Amino acid sequence: MDTVRTQVAIIGAGPAGMLLSHLLAAEGVESVVVETRSQEYVASRIRAGILEQSTVDLLHGCGLGERLAREGDRHRGIYLQWPGERHHLDFVDLTGRSVWVYGQTEVQKDLVEARRAGGQVIHYEVEDTALHDLETDSPAVTFTDSGGVARRVVADAVAGCDGSFGPSRGAVPDDVRRTWEKVYPYSWFGILADVAPSTDELIYAWHPDGFALHSMRSAHVSRFYLQVPNDTEADDWSDDRIWEALAARLGHGQDGWTLTPGPVTDRSVLPMRSHVSTPMRHGRLFLAGDAAHIVPPTGAKGLNLAVADVALLAPALAALVLKDDHRPADDYSDTALRRVWRCTHFSWWMTTMLHQSGDPFERELQLSQLRWVASSEAGATGLAENYAGLPIGF
Ligand code: FAD
Ligand code: DHB
C-alpha cells in the first residue's frame, strides 16, 4: 500500500471539504482531499443558490470573492406571499444584512480553481474510502485511487466532509453518536429554466395546491421549486404541467404580475428531512457540513451551514496541528452545534409555515403566522435575521 503523511486528511471535495482545504492552506496547514466522484460531476451538481451575508464575507476574506463580487446578485430581501397578497421583507432595512444569488456550482468552480492554483492534492474517483485509528494521534484514511492503487493517508486529524451518504458519520461509534431526524411528508421538485426571472427577488409562496418558490441563477436563468408528494418522479410532470402549476401557485395574473415560461433544462426531485448527528467530533475525526447535519432546503441554509462549520474548524485544526493547542478543537462540536440547531429550527419553521400538510388546523395557523411575519416588524426581523444569517461564531 502506498502511504503518505499529511496534517489533515479531508474526505469529500464538496464545498465543505474544498473550503476547508483552502482555509487550512491559508493557516499553513497541509491537507489531502479524497472524493468518490469526478471533478466534473461535483462541479456541475445543481444545488444551492443563496449565500448569506456571513458566507459572502468569509469568501471575500479568504480571497474567493472576486467573481462573486462581479457576477453575484445582491438581494435586499424576499417576497412572502399567499393567495391575494405579496409582501416584501427588506432584510437590509430590518437587520442591515443581505443575501446573494450565486450558485453552489459557481462557489465550487471558484474553490476548484483556487485549490488548483495552490497545488492542492485531490484524489477524485476514489473507491473504498475507510477511516482508521481515529482515537489515536495518527488517524488514517485508506482508499483505492482512480488507477486502482491502494493508498493510505496518515494524518494528525481527519475531516469528514463527505455529505449525507459518506462513511464519516458512521465512524463515530454507536454508543457515542446520537441522531435526531425528521422526515417531511413532501418533496421539492426543482426546475431550472432558460428564461429571465419574472421577479427581482425570490418569491416564497404559500398556496392551497402546495408551496412554490421562484428563485434564479442569473439574468437569463430561473430556478423554481414546487411542493410535490414524496413518491413523485421528475418525468411524471410535462413542461406544460410544470408551468401551469407554477403560474397558479405563484399568482400569475395577480395584481398584473406575470410568470414567463421558458425551456426547462434540468429537473430533479429532492426529499426533505432534518437530521442532526452529534457529537461533531470523535477523537481525531471532525465532521463538517452535510456529513453532520441536513436541513430541509426552505430557507437556504445547507450550504451556508457547511461554510460556517469549516470557518470554525479550520482555525481549530490549525491550533491543534501547529501549536498542539487542543482547546478550539475540544470546543468545536459544541460551538458548531449552537448554529446547527438554530438553522435546523429556522429551516423546520420556514418549511412547516409554507408547505401544505393536509391538516386544516395547521393551514389556519400557517396563514396567521404569515400575516404576522409580513405585518409585524418584530416578526419580519426574526425571519430576516435568520435568513440573512447570524454572524460566524454565533
Ligand atoms: P456535499 O456537497 O454533499 O459534498 C460531500 C462530498 O463528499 C460529495 O462530493 C461526495 O461525492 C463526497 N463523498 C461521499 N462519500 C464519499 C466517500 N466515501 N469518499 C470520498 N468522498 C465521498 N443549501 C443552501 O445553503 N442554500 C440553498 O439554496 C440550497 N439549495 C439546495 C437545493 C438542492 C436541490 C439541494 C440538493 C441542496 C440544497 N442546499 C442548499 C444544500 C447544499 O447543497 C448542501 O448543504 C451542501 O452541498 C453541503 O456541502 P457539503 O460539502 O457538506 O456536502
Ligand atoms: C434556492 C434554494 C433554496 O432552498 C431556497 O430557500 C432559496 C433558493 C435556490 O436553489 O435558488
Domain identity same for 35 and 115:
yes
Within 6 A (CB) of ligand 2 lie 48-50, 202, 213, 215, 223, 297-300
Among 102, 186, 202, 215, residue to substitute to test ligand 2 (most atoms within 8 Å of Cβ): 215
Indicate if 75 belongs to the active site.
yes
How many structural domains compose the chain?
2
Residue 223 lies in a domain: yes
Provide the pLDDT for residue 390.
83
Q: Among 120-129, 159-168, 334-343, 383-392, whose mean pLDDT is lowest? A: 383-392
Percent of the chain with pLDDT over 70: 99
My answer on whether omega of the bond before 208 falls inside 30° of 0, hence cis, is no
CB neighbour list of residue 273: distance below 8 Å, 6 or more residues apart: 181, 182, 183, 184, 294, 296
Mean pLDDT of 35-44: 92
Residue 267 in grid coordinates = 429537473
Give 392's pLDDT tier (boundaries 50, 70, 90).
Answer: low
Q: Check whether residue 60 and residue 202 sit in a common domain.
A: no
Q: Which atom, in ligand 2's list, is nearest to the CA of 190?
A: 10
pLDDT above 90 for 1:
no
The tens digit of pLDDT for each residue in 149-161 reads 999 999 999 999 9
Verify that 15 and 58 share a domain, yes or no: yes
Which tens digits make up the pLDDT trace of 50-101? Answer: 999 999 999 999 999 999 999 999 999 999 999 999 999 999 999 999 999 9
Say which ligand is closest to the CA of 389. 1
Instruction: Identify the residue whose C-alpha is closest to ligand 1 atom 40.
Output: 48
Same domain assignment for residues 132 and 44: yes
Say how many C-beta atoms besides its own lie within 10 A of residue 342's C-beta.
16
Nearest ligand to the C-alpha of residue 163?
Answer: 1
The residue from 301, 328, 332, 355 that is catalytic is 301
Supply the pLDDT for residue 388: 94
* Nearest ligand 2 atom, CA 188: 4
Are residues 69 and 216 both part of a single domain?
A: no
pTM: 0.96
Q: Are residues 48 and 115 in the same domain?
A: yes
Known active-site residue 297: yes
Atom 7 of ligand 2, residue of closest alpha carbon? 300
Whether 394 has a pLDDT exceeding 80, the answer reads no
Is 301 near ligand 1, meaning CB less than 6 Å away? Answer: yes
Query: Which pLDDT value is given to residue 48?
Result: 85
As a whole number of angstroms, the distance between CA 57 and CA 278 comes to 28
Examine residue 47 and state whether it is found in any structural domain, yes or no.
Answer: yes
Among candidate residues 79, 186, 204, 332, the one labeled active-site is 204
**Can you tell me whether residue 364 is helix, strand or coil?**
helix
Check if 41 is active-site. no
**Best substitution site from 34, 35, 275 to test ligand 1's pocket, by max atoms within 8 Å of Cβ?**
35
Confidence tier at 44 by pLDDT (50, 70, 90): confident
Q: Which residue has the CA at smallest separation from atom 33 of ligand 1?
A: 47
Q: Alpha helix (H) ranges present in 62-134?
A: 66-71, 91-95, 104-117
Q: What is the pLDDT of residues 214-247, one digit of tens each?
A: 999 999 999 999 999 999 999 999 999 999 999 9
- Check if 142 has its Cβ closer than 6 Å to any atom of ligand 1: no
Question: What is the pLDDT, as a whole number, of residue 393?
Answer: 63
Whether 197 lines ligand 1, by a CB cut-off of 6 Å, is: no
Name the catalytic one among 75, 123, 282, 293: 75
Q: What is the mean pLDDT of residues 22-43?
A: 96
Percent pLDDT > 90 in the chain is 96
- The reply to whether 85 falls in a domain is no
Closest Cα to residue 7, out of 165, 150, 178, 141? 141
Select from 246, 253, 184 the least CA-distant residue to 215. Answer: 246
228 domain-assigned: yes
Domain assignment present for 390: no
Query: Is there a domain that residue 90 lies in?
Result: no
Taking residues 131-147, report their average pLDDT: 97
If asked whether residues 212 and 164 sit together in one domain, one would say no
Question: What is the average pLDDT across 317-336?
Answer: 98
Q: Which pLDDT value is given to residue 96?
A: 95
Range of the domain at 46: 2-75+99-180+274-355
CATH of the domain at 331: 3.50.50.60
Residue 84 lies in a domain: no
Bridge partner residues of 276 (DSSP): 180, 293
Residue 342 Cα to chain centre, angstroms: 14
- 292's CB contacts (< 8 A; 6+ apart) are 160, 169, 276, 277, 278, 280, 309, 336, 340
At residue 149, the pLDDT reads 97
Domain shared by 380 and 333, yes or no: no
Residues 157 and 284 in one domain: yes
**Sign of the CA dihedral with 291 first, then 293, 299, and 305 last:** negative
Catalytic residue flag (residue 102): no
- Residue 189 pLDDT: 98
Is 6 inside a domain boundary? Answer: yes
Indicate the angle between helix axes 360-375 and 327-354, nearest 10 degrees. Answer: 110
Quick one: average pLDDT of 245-272? Answer: 96
Q: Are residues 156 and 188 in the same domain?
A: no
Same domain, 196 and 232: yes
Whose alpha carbon is nearest atom 11 of ligand 2? 49
Q: Taking residues 332-354, what's their average pLDDT?
A: 97
Q: What is the CATH number of the domain that holds 248?
A: 3.30.9.10
pLDDT of amino acid 336: 97
Residue 83, ligand 1, Cβ within 6 A: no
> What is the maximum alpha-carbon separation in the chain?
68
Name the pLDDT band for 47 (thresholds 50, 70, 90).
confident
Do residues 69 and 196 both lie within one domain? no
Q: For residue 290, give the ligand nearest its CA.
A: 1
**Closest-lying ligand to the alpha carbon of 347?**
2
